[in-house]
Structure 1
Amino acid sequence: MNESKDFLRTIVEEDLASGKFQEVHTRFPPEPNGFPHIGHAKSIVINFGIARDYHGRCNLRMDDTNPITEDTRYVEALKDAVHWLGFEWDDGIRHTSDYFPRLYDYAVQLIKMGKAYVDSLNEEEIREYRGTVTEPGRRSKYAQRSVEENLDLFERMKNGEFKEGEHVLRAKIDMGAANMQLRDPLLYRIRHVHHHRTGDTWSIYPMYDFAHCLSDYIEGITHSFCTLEFENNRAIYDWVLDTLELEPPRPYQYEFARLAITYTVMSKRKLLELVNEGKVNGWDDPRMPTIAGYRRRGYTKESILNFCDQIGIAKANSTVDVAQLEFAIRDDLNTKVPRVMCVLDPLKVTIENYEGSEEIDASYYPHDVPKEASRKLPFSKEIYIERDDFDENPPKGYFRLTPEQPVRLKHAYIITCKEVVKDADGNVVEIKAEYHPDSKSGQDTSGIKVKSAIHWVDAKGAKKAEVRLYDRLFKEEAPKGMEDLNPDSLKVIEHALVEPAVITERPDERFQFERQGYFYADPVDYSDEHPVFNKIVALKDSWSKKRKAPEKAPKPQPKKVQIDGEVAPMNEAEQARFDKYTDELKLGTEVANTLARDEKLSHFYEEALSVLQSPVSLANIVANEVARELKEKEIDALKFTPKQIAGLVKMVEEGTISSKIAKQVFEEMTVSGKDPEKIVEEKGLVQISDPAQILPIIEEVMAKNPDNVAKFKAGNTKLLGFFVGQVLKSTGGKANPKVVNELVAKKLK
């Protein structure tokens, strides 16, 4: 259960403590008139999550009261979304149409009580009679009909004797109510439409306000969570239940803020328009904000769940920056996916002094990811690099290959440009280079200093792939419609080149293409003969550069490294720090740049280094977590000290806590300023490394997943990650990942 209670959970706890309800029973009641989107994901997480947290139940109910727009494929999409997010509904799927006979009987009961009547005004007259926010409405003359006449007309409406719009059933409440929802709301309307479940049985269909509260009551729902646009409808919800004097217990409605995201539309009407007008390639187009679209793009369920958890549950509407959702997927994939190399715009490089070929052993993961796996990179005299990784006339601050500047090939050697080959139009078509045999990564004794490492693929070993570069579907922060579509939301590269292991070994379905972004093997179009990869998200938010400069200059922030020629050249002091960090402390280029360019950040790092001689680990946390805090605060306002950061890193290195727990401890340090040792002690976060404690958890996970155990033993070794993840989840991230990996692998043999 979440440690910090939102207002909905507070309500639930109070109701349980007071004895108002013995069990929590929620529901997720979507209309099956479109594919569920990210807003539905939030509702799913709230309804199913609260039921789970309080050991209750949650129903999945299709609100199928408008047969004009409904379709069984939408029902399947909704079921699939709930399952994919990891939830189970209680005792089969419900449909509002299951209750049509009972709803009709309740309507008859209201008529008999004199609380409902058949109105014969047309739609325009009903609107006119309703009044305004400053003027009361007028009741229809048809409200004077007798109970007998209303019962007769209502039954004939049900039997299909009237045209659509000829009559409606309305509640008789108060035409002068300040809440206009109470001005004799419609309860039923005539629809001569085939229903996908009830066929042609019914010619009348209940309105949402009538059907929803009664469906909740019939199902025994205790807490009916709705978005804020239904706040005024709560009065009708209560009126129907109270007027019918139904036997308790009865449900209660509570409202929360709906999800709105920048650069995104979530109106079903607009999403349907995008699909029907061919602006996108269906509901599962990776640019769509549908759950199916996010899945096909490569988002993980964990990233969606984490995003919903991070934005919380609010009482007031607001708009979430889409960058927060993009951060959630980056954060999730960063510690999961293998790093590989893919060249999108190939430029041939011939290494003239290299003969033969070799295989270079390269890890799939950086040192700070607790996974161990590697692949063989073929290397020969002909390779391809990214076209923009060479510049004949480089701007200042350009760190990649130039006629005068050598560069390192990632995992391989340093190369130097010797000749630039051009075609008749002056376009560069080939680079002739030489390599330095004593500069191999991990064994470099060349003494050559380079400021960048670039990705590459071997000409013979590389595999061709189609790469789909997806970007935001809309170019405006608050899009209004089709006129705001981003014309560059999809770019297809048909002849990208990837290293062979991506295709031949398939270590995963998601990858970080070095320096390009995160990518996913398209689940529909991919085949080993024609590999297709979708771009999930870039490695950093590039859209922030496109926004207009604010009127007031923002507070200076530490600059992140950008090895793409966009940063200013270093001054003398910065260069000296950079040289020290790369040469003496062996820091990576990106981290060294981040620290070297910010004097205060560099000072913080060196203070921490004076406490703990662990330059790489300290540099990573300072250049990322500490730098992130400095975006919002001055360094003097930080709650934590360099000494405390050193203490946190020491605990990770000694195995006291895991890297995942360290992030949790750091977040607490930013708020409380407590020593990390104290936080770990108070919260009981010490890492579990004792096999005797971990093995029973592994056995329990395996017992719960016999099908996956069988699949693993049948050859699906990718499931190792599934079991490791389940064990880590069961321990709240406390288990030592390395120990878990080893024990799970042994257990599954």
Structure 2
Amino acid sequence: MNNENKQNNNNFISKIINEDFQKNKNLLLHTRFPPEPNGYLHIGHAKSICLNFEIANLYNGYCNLRFDDTNPNKENKKYINSIKNDIRWLGYKWYKRAFYSSEYFSILYKYAKELIKKDLAYVDQLTKEQIREYRGTLKNVGKNSPYRNRSIEDNLKLFKKMKNGFFKEGEACLRAKINMSSPSIIMRDPVLYRIIFTKHHQTKNQWCIYPMYDFAHCLSDSIEGITHSFCTLEFQDNKNLYNWILKNTNVKHYSQQYEFSRLNLEYSILSKRKISILINKNIINEWDDPRILTIAGLRRKGYTASSIRQFCHKIGITKQNNLVEFSMLEYCIRNELNQTATRTMAVLEPIKVYLYNIDDDYEKKITVPNHPNNPNLGNHEIIFTNTIYIERKDFQEKYDKKYKRLKIGTEVRLRHAYIIKAEKIEKDKNGNIVTIICFCDTTSLGKKPINKKNPAVIHWIAKKNTLPAKFNLYNHLFTIKNPEQKENFLSFLNPDSLIIKNGFIEKKIGKKIIKKINSNNYENLFFQFERIGYFCLDQLSSKTTLVFNRTVSLRDSWKVKMKN
């Protein structure tokens, strides 16, 4: 058992499994990850993936990937392919092959007929609105449908007519006959089958009736021999229906459902429905937009599979819903990139600095480490000349005693290079600073100033060593901690969720990146732009346009001590 999996020994699910093994020494643990292929996976799914696959591995069992594909109106192969890709990228392998609930449609149809024959299901012809009205509320019990007491023979005939396309969509459905007075609304004669005249991505036009998720899910678990069916707490009420269906059908295997808390992360939306709204309104670009927490979006932002797994392990598996600090997720990627990312310099908002006491043809090559604590990452050369660029925010014209960077009459150290002193500025006709005129202390390379405090250090790039680049600075998409709870969540969008800068990176680093782009190799292109943050190369980069996405800032705002 590796270190990543140790956390699974300490949660309530492992305790349940350990007890099950004590009762049955020959138990073969079988879990499943059952996504609906109606959108991309997000970090909440990653938590479930880690749980299901790692628990199965820990106890030498199996984990199925099964697509619960019961609604062809919302599903397609694009989502299936993206889900498979995300699971592989996270580092997991499913048992045998991908399974589909649609494979079992013929079996599910027989189970539905079995319920009808037991007088436990009936064909209802109320409209959706009427069914909702008849169902009642938490305060008021429901009332029986006028079609509830049809004979078994009539229900079998009508269900067959549904299957054969006799009814239009919405004209009929199959409902379980349970209890319209149940305190649990989900048990008030839930719909088991509905009519949908849409081509299915797996079964094509073979069916025009489709099982509801709750009906297909528990029976698919049973068919596949799933021993432990894990789901999040919002399905806790569905457990009664899960067990009722298994109990009242002639299944050979009885699966057990267990619930754990879903992931809620600050400033984030994880609802696929709400993410779809963001896409349709062009608020975000697509399912892989780095501002949302889909796995594809996190990957594009620069998160690694190992950092996402580490995050899922640290938040753990509990039965208590809570809002997780976003900084905890940032800690996991920052901690990793701090050890692995190449250090280089980039200037996002450049302003020109002219060193008047350096000759125009002067060029000094300086060797700098790619990582201060990892010599295995090697070195690279930077060039020093009399014209360089620094960050605009690293110079201040107005006097401010607290400002510790470059200003008229003060000195700063250029990272890896010399000490310079600002003496005057040049402005354009609009009053904007275009050049800072500085003196360069040519004796200061690698030396501390005599009888002076060490000056502040700023980053820079020589004009001769620049390559243009675009920088995407991503911030929280929402301005409040829990937008998921707000119906009007669009009212809390952050107007600065994406800030785009156009600046420079070091030319030699840029040329190495372009070589990788030409060979279609985007792997491991992570950088710490010194004093700015951690960045990765965006997939839309080309050899003529380099685009970098900020993964995370340098500063760690999460103060909680992490346990090893």
TM-score (norm: length of structure 1): 0.70
Give 1:197 deviation, angstroms: 1.4
User: Are the equivalent residues in 1 in contact too, given 2:465–2:508 (CA < 8 A)?
Assistant: no
Structure 2 CA distance, aligned partners of 1:226 and 1:246? 21
Report matched runs for 1:542-621 at 5 Å. Answer: none
Q: Give the equivalent residue in structure 1 for 2:519.
A: none
Is 1:295 the counterpart of 2:299 in the alignment?
yes
Alignment match of 1:307 (pick from 308, 311, 334): 311
2:70 partner SS? coil
2:462, 2:264 → 1: CA distance? Answer: 45
Which residue matches 1:429? 434
Query: How much has 1:541 moved relative to structure 2?
Result: 6.0
- Contact kept, 8 Å, 2:448 with 2:454, in 1: the verdict is no
Give the aligned partner of residue 501 of structure 1.
Answer: 508
Q: Secondary structure at the match of 2:285?
A: coil
Question: Using the alignment, how far apart are the partners of 1:167 and 1:423 within structure 2?
Answer: 75
1:148 matches 2:163: no
| Match runs of 1:484-499 below 5 Å | 484-494=492-502, 496-499=503-506
Aligned to 2:64: 59
Following the alignment from structure 1 to structure 2, what is the Cα–Cα distance between the partners of residues 459 and 137?
A: 76
Residue aligned with 2:437, SS: strand
**Residues 438 and 446, structure 1, Cα contact 8 Å, conserved in 2:** no
1:271 and 2:286 are equivalent in the alignment: no
1:335 equivalent among 336, 339, 346: 339
Change (3 A) 1:109 1:14: same
The equivalent position to 1:395 in structure 2, one of 392, 395, 400, is: 400
Alignment of structure 1 residues 222-233 onto 2, 5 Å: 222-233=227-238
Encode CA deviations 1:123-169: one digit per residue, 9 max, x unaligned.
22222222332333222232221111111111110000011122111
Alpha-carbon separation, structure 2, partners of 1:437 and 1:75: 61
2:456 to 445, 448, 452: 452
Is this contact kept in 1: 2:342–2:377, CA < 8 A?
no
> Match for residue 513 of structure 1?
529
1:161 to 2:170 alignment:
no
| Root mean square deviation, CA, Å | 1.9
- 2:364 pairs, out of 355, 358, 361, with 358
Q: Which runs of 5+ in 2 are unaligned?
A: 517-523
Distance of 2:194 and 2:284 partners within structure 1? 34
Higher helix residue share: 1
Kept in 2, the 8 Å contact 1:462–1:500? The answer is yes
Q: Cα offset for 1:30?
A: 0.8
Q: Which residue of 2 aligns with 1:537?
A: 552
Aligned to 2:327, the other structure's residue is in SS state helix
Choose from 67, 72, 81 the match for 1:76: 81
Letter in 2 for 1:358: K
CA deviation profile, 1:246-290 (whole Å, cap 9, x unmatched): 22x421000111111111111111111111121111111111221
Q: Offset of 1:198 from its aligned partner?
A: 1.1
- 2:554 maps to amino acid: L
User: What are the superposed Cα offsets for residues 690-722 of structure 1, whole Å, 9 maximum, x if unpaired?
Assistant: xxxxxxxxxxxxxxxxxxxxxxxxxxxxxxxxx
Counterpart residue identity of residue 216, structure 1: D
| Residue identity matched to 2:525 | E
State how far apart, in whole Å, the 2-side matches of 1:102 and 1:81 are. Answer: 30
Between the aligned partners of 1:190 and 1:125, the Cα distance in structure 2 is: 17
- Do residues 22 (structure 1) and 32 (structure 2) align? no
Confirm or deny that 1:43 pairs with 2:39: no
Matched-pair identity in %? 47
**Partners of 1:388 and 1:192 in 2: how far apart?**
60
| Equivalent position amino acid for 1:114 in 2 | D
> Per-residue displacement from partner, 1:431-465 (whole Å, max 9, x unpaired)?
12122222112x44655433311000011111111
Code of the aligned partner of 2:94: W
Using the TM superposition, give the Cα deviation of residue 467 of structure 1 relative to its aligned residue in structure 2, in angstroms. Answer: 1.2
Unaligned stretches of 5+ in structure 1?
Answer: 545-627, 633-662, 669-749
| Cα pair 1:438 1:444 within 8 Å, conserved | no
SS at match of 1:236: helix
More strand by share: 2
TM superposition shift of 1:245: 4.0
User: Offset at 1:395?
Assistant: 2.1
Higher RCO (CA 8 Å, separation ≥ 6 residues): 2
Name the counterpart of 2:386.
381
Structure 1 residue corresponding to 2:481, chosen from 452, 477, 481? 477
Q: Does the CA-based 8 Å contact 1:350-1:381 persist in structure 2?
A: yes
Letter of the 2:531 counterpart:
R
Q: Cα offset for 1:2?
A: 1.4
User: Helix, strand or coil for the counterpart of 1:518?
Assistant: strand
The answer as to 2:262 corresponding to 1:258 is yes
TM-score (norm 2): 0.93
Q: Does residue 17 of structure 2 align to residue 12 of structure 1?
A: yes
Letter in 2 for 1:390: F
Hey, what's the Cα distance between the residues in 1 that align with 2:400 and 2:114?
80
Cα drift, residue 499 of structure 1: 1.2
Q: 1:404 aligns with which of 394, 405, 409?
A: 409
1:348 aligns with 2:363: no
